Amino acid sequence: MPILLPKKPDYDINRIFPEGVLKESYEIMLDEAFNQTRKHVTGITIDGETSKDLDDAINFTKLAFGYKLDVSIADPSSVIHMSSEIDKEALKRVFTLYRNTYNNPMLPSLLSEDLITLKEKSKRPSITVRSFFNSDFRLISYDIFQSCVQLKKRLTYSTCTQVLNKEIDLDSLNQEYGFKVQNFLNEIGNLAANLKSQRVGKKYNIASLSSEEIVSEIMVFTNHLVSNYMIENKIPGLYRSHGFKSSCSNERAEYSSSNFGHLGLGLESYTHFTSPLRRYPDLAVGRILNSHFSEKPLPYLESDLQEMCEYFNQITIDTIDESLDDDFILDVDSDITDISDKEFLEDSLSIFNLSITHEAKMLDLLERNLINTKILTYILLDDRKVTNAWVRIKSAIKVKIESQPNIALNILLEACNNHMLKIAKIDFEIFPIDSYTHSRILLTIGGKYYSNTNGVVASSAKRAKALSAKFCLFGLIDKQLIETEFNYQYST
């Protein structure tokens, strides 16, 4: 029976689900048969502090000949039946939309944040992509199968960052988690760096990747293997294609029922599979795989897949349209920009009216500390960036600087090196006051010294220098710097 697509997506859907959807959600029970019929695997989740819809778990094992990687993805299609009320509502919503203050989920929270999410110390139906690598992290073989994943522990990106930067008591952490967290992160970090090096053709190491990038790279690899599996087994599926129309990196990625490769990722094939609690295409791919594993008729006809792709692509275009509420954030095009961050950011600087996807991606990169000093400097000090999206991004950068004032010093140095806003020189005024340190930064602009009204006093010279840089930068941006006494003292 052909799939019945909604006439159009409902962007006005609020957080309340129809009664029929909630009723079905409460009736869902995880069958104990999952424990008996599926392979048992284990995994660790790595997500944001506040994330509740946890899609993926990672397990990494060192072997005599190399390594084994298990990526287990939540399997909502095993309990959400096609054409059920839950499924029809999810197809209307298509994606989880994230607002500034809350999200508008694709699935009811009872499912996406409880029954199906990969919670710590729980067992959940999943689909596992198992890969074997040699000692040089070259792929030897892989397999994909239905599984029951037992979640050992949950890590957060912030904890991982602290571990990688050696900013946390590792002994206490290892005791709390029951395994050597640093060893685990170093192993998957080295894997991610090698995967990225092989794909991009440029050398990367673990030090060049953030904790978020490590997970992202592993998920990109997983999506690629799933697409390759569908091709090798001649399974009609959904693909995520890019660059097949114009060989242009600025072309938007699209869903397609045929594989055209992904230029932005440098991959011969790609799909969306690793976020089934937040994206309907991922849920659909999981459903296709489950039918294949069970040797049952595939859930979608070729015509269904084509119509679904057109529907998903139109939603992407409509949602990016500037007429939509500005505070929507759509997690849909991250596959390109996760990998081409530098090119994406440099291209974005020349755009006057940022799309919602551009803004959301830039804010995401900012949150993950993936925007370099040069880009931050050009964004903050460009007076032409006055549209609502750019103003929000500038405000977010300021918030980041409030918590990490050392960023301000790097921005001022970058501005000086490039003579932005006619800054010719930076001078540091630092001296001790009892057990504290006084600091003030002076900018030479047009042959005169400018700074804040007052300096900063802090417990350490490093802290004082960073705080004075923050106040000086904010004063520069807000045009509130004043001439200093040195202009009068040394004038003739």
Count: domains in the chain: 2
309 and 413 belong to one structural domain: no
Between 3 and 233, the higher pLDDT residue: 233
**pLDDT(384) > 90:** no
Domain membership of residue 52 (yes or no) is yes
pLDDT tens for 338-351 read 445 566 676 677 67
Name the phi and psi angles at 57, rounded to 5.
Answer: -135, 145
pLDDT of residue 335: 42
121 and 227 belong to one structural domain: yes
pLDDT of residue 336: 35
pLDDT of residue 289: 98
Domain membership of residue 4 (yes or no) is no
CB atoms within 10 A of CB 61: 12
Domain membership of residue 150 (yes or no) is yes
The structure tokens 């009204």 sit at 453
Q: Over the chain, what is the mean pLDDT? A: 85
pLDDT of residue 10: 59
Domain membership of residue 350 (yes or no) is no
pLDDT tens for 394-449 read 999 999 999 889 899 999 998 988 888 889 889 888 888 878 888 889 999 988 88
- One-letter-per-residue 3-state SS of the chain: CCCCCCCCCCCCCCCCCCHHHHHHHHHCCCCCHHHHHCEEEEEEEEECCCCCCCCEEEEEEECCCEEEEEEEEECHHHCCCCCCHHHHHHHHHCECEECCCCEECCCCHHHHHHHCCCCCCCEEEEEEEEEEEECCCCEEEEEEEEEEEEEEEEEEHHHHHHHHCCCCCHHHHHHHHCCCHHHHHHHHHHHHHHHHHHHHCCCCCHHHCCHHHHHHHHHHHHHHHHHHHHHHCCCCCCEEEECCCCCCCCCCCEEECCCCCECCCCECCCCCCCCCCCEHHHHHHHHHHHHHHCCCCCCCCHHHHHHHHHHHHHHHHHHHCCCCCCCCEECCCHHHHHHCHHHHHHHHCCCCCCCHHHHHHHHHHHHCCCCCHHHHHHHHHCCCCCCHHHHHHHHHHHHHHHHCCHHHHHHHHHHHHCCHHHEEEEEEEEEEECCEEEEEEEEEECCEEEECCCCEEECCHHHHHHHHHHHHHHHHHCCCCEECHHHHHCCC
pLDDT tens for 27-78 read 988 776 676 789 999 999 998 888 889 999 999 999 999 999 999 999 999 9
Q: What is the mean pLDDT of residues 175-182?
A: 88
Domain membership of residue 304 (yes or no) is yes
Query: 12 is written with which tokens?
Result: 């006005």
Q: What is the mean pLDDT of residues 353-366?
A: 79
Between 105 and 317, the higher pLDDT residue: 105
Domain boundary among 321, 355, 387: 321
Domain that holds residue 120: 19-321
Q: Which residues pair with 71 in a beta bridge?
A: 58, 129
Domain boundary among 321, 351, 368: 321
pLDDT tens for 113-127 read 999 999 998 999 999
Domain membership of residue 80 (yes or no) is yes
Instruction: Give the CATH number for residue 416.
Output: 3.30.160
The radius of gyration of the chain from alpha carbons, rounded to an integer in Å, stands at 25
316 and 416 belong to one structural domain: no
CB atoms within 10 A of CB 76: 27
Domain membership of residue 384 (yes or no) is no
310 and 214 belong to one structural domain: yes
162 and 279 belong to one structural domain: yes
pLDDT tens for 187-229 read 999 999 999 999 988 888 998 888 888 998 999 999 999 999 9
Name the phi and psi angles at 249, rounded to 5.
Answer: -70, -15
pLDDT tens for 292-323 read 999 999 999 999 999 999 999 887 665 543 33
pLDDT of residue 381: 92
Domain boundary among 288, 321, 354: 321
Domain membership of residue 133 (yes or no) is yes
Quote the distance between the C-alpha of residue 417 and its chain's center: 31
Q: What is the mean pLDDT of residues 486-490?
A: 56
Query: 45 is written with which tokens?
Result: 């989740």
pLDDT of residue 490: 43
- Kindly report which listed range (6-15, 156-165, 345-354) carries the lowest average pLDDT score: 6-15
128 and 276 belong to one structural domain: yes
Between 139 and 448, the higher pLDDT residue: 139
pLDDT of residue 461: 84
